[in-house]
């Protein structure tokens, strides 16, 4: 079974545009869960341009499924997640001012750093996931850090899928098999949508979770949130 984690950053972006509490980020997370989402993902950034630090603490007691916090593991980020203790922390290599995640880790070059972070998360009872390109060598390196999972960066798949679906998904099939062989769980995210998710899910083995935000919020503007979550779960055979 592949779980659907809804990234609610865009909801916080909309709220922050007016400076009030509409839409209510906490209620939106609860509604996503009640409608069938298997988890809630957030990516707090240092400038708090969407999810704010206080949102993280407010969401923790409300999220009853899986709480996944993404981010670059600065001292401030680590202090936050070790206090909040989500079920999963996804480590991404973003610069503080990055608009969105745009590449996976160079794990070999950051081996000592990532291993130390993974060790701290494990000691706190938090599952770790490292954001990576669909490269078996990088995945094997990630396994040496002791991480629990990898998250495959799927923008290259989404970009190529319309013209060459078989070629687009091939590296992800190989990457997921490599991760499974290494004993790692497999997550995926970035630019997955109703246009490509079903095919990705059907083709990629051992897929534990997909994290989707921008496309879900965009589709919900037209379809409504209940029908949108239902449609995404249908793509996952749920």
> Would residue 201 show up in a list of annotated catalytic residues for this protein?
no
Residues 209 and 2: beta-carbon distance below 8 Å: yes
> Would residue 180 show up in a list of annotated catalytic residues for this protein?
no
Residues 11 and 42: beta-carbon distance below 8 Å: no
Q: Strand pairing of 127-132 and 88-91?
A: parallel
Secondary structure class of 92 (helix, strand, coil): coil
Could you say which of 66, 151, 190, 209 is catalytic? 190
DSSP string, 118-136: HHHHHHTT-EEEEEE-S-H
Could you say which of 43, 50, 66, 209 is catalytic? 43
Q: Return contacts of 221-226, CB within 8 angstroms, 24+ apart.
A: 225/31, 225/32, 225/35, 226/35
Could you say which of 66, 70, 151, 209 is catalytic? 70
> Would residue 214 show up in a list of annotated catalytic residues for this protein?
no
195/200 Cα distance (integer angstroms): 10
Exposed/middle/buried for 174, CB within 10 Å: 0-12, 13-18, 19+? middle
Which residues participate in catalysis according to the annotation? 43, 70, 190
């Amino acid at each position: 079974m592949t779980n659907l984690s809804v990234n609610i950053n865009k909801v916080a972006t909309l709220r922050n545009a007016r400076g009030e509490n509409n839409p209510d980020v906490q209620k939106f997370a609860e509604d996503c869960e009640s409608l069938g989402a298997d988890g809630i993902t957030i990516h707090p950034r240092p400038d708090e341009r969407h999810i704010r630090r206080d949102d993280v603490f407010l969401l923790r007691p409300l999220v009853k499924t899986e709480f996944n916090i993404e981010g670059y593991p600065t001292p401030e980020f680590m202090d936050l997640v070790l206090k909040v203790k989500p079920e999963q922390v996804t480590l991404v290599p973003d610069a503080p001012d990055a608009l969105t995640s745009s590449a996976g880790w160079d794990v070999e070059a950051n081996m000592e750093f990532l291993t130390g972070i993974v060790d701290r998360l494990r000691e706190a009872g938090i599952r770790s996931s490292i954001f990576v390109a669909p490269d078996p060598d990088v995945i094997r390196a990630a396994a040496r850090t002791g991480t629990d999972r990898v998250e495959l960066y799927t923008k290259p798949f989404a970009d190529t899928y319309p013209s060459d679906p078989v070629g687009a998904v091939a590296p992800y099939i190989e990457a997921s098999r490599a991760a499974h062989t290494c004993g790692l769980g497999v997550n995926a995210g970035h630019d997955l949508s109703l246009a490509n998710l079903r095919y990705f899910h059907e083709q990629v083995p051992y897929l534990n979770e997909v994290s989707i935000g921008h496309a879900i919020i965009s589709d919900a503007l037209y379809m409504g949130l209940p029908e949108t979550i239902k449609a995404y779960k249908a793509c996952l055979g749920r």
